[in-house]
């Protein structure tokens, strides 16, 4: 092992037994584990955040399979390289099996033409595809490729998993065993926490701490909490305002307010703001929820949300965070009623799909007096001329008589 290479590279697992984490897809009873062990792998898409082990898993497969293994990056490779790989694979003198495993890192960056060029060879079994992506493959990868592949969702590594990898790095020859290091487990665990599920970040931080700390007079490198804090990158916010996590986070934010949990709403609001989300976008979502879910149970929520949206637009960050927090908490704490939302959606559905008839003549507009000769506005009863300012008369078309759209919710006053 070349110790000049980064620790994160040196600690990449070579076998499934060395692989840490992702037990939900790589437990011994799971199909992916069994197919890798048996070298019977079919095409897969590995989907997960940076540092969760996608490339490491591909490396394990490359060490396990008897098939020719190729690795390319979607950023730097094109159709010509794919064709060359296929040509070499189909040369039975060079490759008697007639098939290969092709690992494509960042496969979401392949355009449609490149993905289409790959499709027939995945379909006929010449190429067993392993695609790695941080983006939602159901949005970014050709549907035909998706249908011919098993999509495996990798999760951010847990603190215990990252701690285990760090511990292993201190004990293995390819890791940091050649250094005389003293570090408490508690400090190692703090590095794991700070890494935020990114094992690469954790290993890089530990390596920097070791290489930049002078030995004491006994030749020991003492890594303290303070040294670790200064060497490990600040905990990452697992949030990409342009990626899949954007939709997950905003969904959680909305559902927390709808579910009347102000603490969860504030948490997801903070997560969005820390990840660089547009505060005006967040204000709009609060306003929509005030109308859709709070509705007539507390009409003032829409007033508060609208005022917050205007204030955020005028003031901007960082002060806008306070305005957003106030509006989110107010909406979350409000009673909920979706009667207006249900009413308009049901009416829109009827208008689009039913024969709804004509507007009754007596409530039609008659801007010109002569139009009354044709029945326009004839017989209309002006409600303010009647007790209580209410009068019984037909408003719906004949075909829609008796239809109920608005049903009062028990939370409405």
* Structural domains of the chain ordered from first start: 22-153 (3.40.50.300), 159-231 (1.10.8.60), 244-333 (1.20.272.10)
Instruction: Classify burial at 335, counting beta carbons within 10 Å of its beta carbon; exposed 0-12, middle 13-18, buried 19 or more.
Output: middle
pLDDT of 369 above 90? no
pLDDT, position 235: 56
3-state secondary structure the chain: CCCCCCHHHHCCCCCHHHCCCCHHHHCCCCHHHHHHHCCCCCCEEEECCCCCCHHHHHHHHHHHCCCEEEEEECCCCCHHHHHHHHHHHHCCCCCCCCCEEEEEECHHHCCHHHHHHHHHHHHCCCEEEEEEECCCHHHHCCHHHHHCCEEEECCCCCHHHHHHHHHHHHHCCCCCCCCCEEECHHHHHHHHHHHCCCHHHHHHHHHHHHHCCCCCCCCCEEECHHHHHHHCCCCCCCCCCCCHHHHHHHHHHHHHHHCCCHHHHHHHHHHHHHCCCCHHHHHHHHHHHHHHHHHHHCCHHHHHHHHHHHHHHHHCCCCHHHHHHHHHHHHHHCCCCCHHHHHHHHHHHHHHHCCCCCCCHHHCCCCCHHHHHHCCCCCCCCHHHCHHHCCCCCCCCHHHCCCCCCCCCCCCC
pLDDT of 246 above 80? no
pLDDT, position 136: 86
Average pLDDT over residues 331-356: 93
pLDDT of 336 above 90? yes
pLDDT, position 194: 84
**Other Cβ atoms within 10 Å of 388 Cβ, number:** 7
Please state, rounded to an integer, the average pLDDT across all residues of the chain. Answer: 88
Query: pLDDT tier at 79 (50, 70, 90 boundaries)?
Result: confident
Range picked from 102-106, 323-327, 407-411 for highest mean pLDDT: 323-327
pLDDT of 238 above 60? no
pLDDT, position 91: 84
pLDDT of 388 above 80? yes
Q: Which of 136-140, 159-163, 205-209 has the lowest mean pLDDT?
A: 136-140
- Are 361 and 320 in contact by the 8 Å Cβ rule? The answer is no
pLDDT of 236 above 60? no
Q: Which residue has the higher pLDDT, 8 or 366?
A: 8
pLDDT, position 82: 87
pLDDT of 243 above 70? no
Query: pLDDT tier at 321 (50, 70, 90 boundaries)?
Result: very high
Segment 249-271, tens digit of pLDDT? 899 999 999 999 999 999 999 98
Segment 157-187, tens digit of pLDDT? 888 999 999 999 999 988 998 899 999 999 9
Bridge-based pairing of strands 127-133 and 150-153 is unpaired
- Are 156 and 196 in contact by the 8 Å Cβ rule? The answer is yes
pLDDT, position 114: 85
pLDDT of 86 above 70? yes
């Amino acid at each position: 092992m070349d110790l000049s290479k980064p620790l994160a590279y040196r600690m990449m697992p070579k076998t499934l037994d060395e692989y840490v984490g992702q037990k939900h897809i790589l437990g011994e009873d799971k199909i992916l584990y069994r197919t890798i062990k048996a070298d019977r792998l079919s095409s897969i898409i590995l989907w997960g955040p940076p540092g969760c082990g996608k490339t490491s898993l591909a490396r394990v497969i490359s060490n396990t399979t008897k098939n020719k293994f190729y690795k390319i990056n979607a950023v730097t490779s094109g159709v010509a390289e794919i064709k060359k790989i296929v040509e070499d694979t189909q040369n039975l003198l060079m490759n008697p099996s007639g098939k290969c495993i092709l690992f494509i890192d960042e496969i979401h960056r392949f355009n449609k033409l490149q993905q289409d060029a790959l499709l027939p060879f995945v379909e006929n079994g010449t190429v067993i595809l392993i695609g790695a992506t941080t983006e939602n493959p159901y949005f970014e990868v050709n549907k035909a490729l998706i249908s011919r592949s098993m999509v495996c969702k990798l999760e951010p590594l847990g603190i215990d998993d990252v701690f285990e990898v760090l511990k292993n790095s201190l004990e293995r020859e390819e890791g940091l065993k050649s250094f005389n290091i003293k570090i408490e487990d508690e400090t190692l665990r703090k590095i794991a926490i700070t890494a935020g599920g990114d094992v690469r970040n954790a290993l890089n931080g530990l390596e920097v701490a070791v290489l930049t700390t002078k030995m004491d007079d006994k030749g020991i490198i003492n890594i303290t909490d303070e040294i670790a804090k200064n060497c490990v990158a600040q905990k990452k916010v697992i949030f990409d305002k342009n990626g899949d996590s954007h939709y997950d986070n905003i969904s959680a934010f909305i559902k927390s307010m709808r579910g009347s949990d102000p603490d969860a709403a504030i948490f997801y609001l903070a997560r969005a703001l820390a990840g660089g989300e547009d505060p005006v976008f967040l204000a709009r979502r609060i306003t929509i929820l005030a109308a859709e879910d709070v509705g007539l149970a507390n009409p003032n929520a829409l007033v508060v949300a609208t005022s917050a949206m205007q204030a955020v637009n005028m003031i901007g960050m960082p002060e806008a965070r306070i305005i957003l927090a106030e509006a989110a908490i107010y909406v979350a704490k409000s009673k909920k009623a979706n009667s207006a939302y249900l009413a308009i959606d049901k009416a829109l559905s009827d208008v689009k799909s039913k024969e709804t008839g004509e507007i009754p003549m007596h409530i039609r507009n008659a801007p010109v007096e002569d139009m009354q000769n044709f029945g326009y506005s004839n017989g209309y009863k002006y409600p303010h001329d009647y007790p209580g300012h209410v009068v019984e008369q037909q408003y719906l078309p004949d075909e829609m008589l008796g239809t109920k759209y608005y049903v009062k919710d028990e939370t409405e006053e």
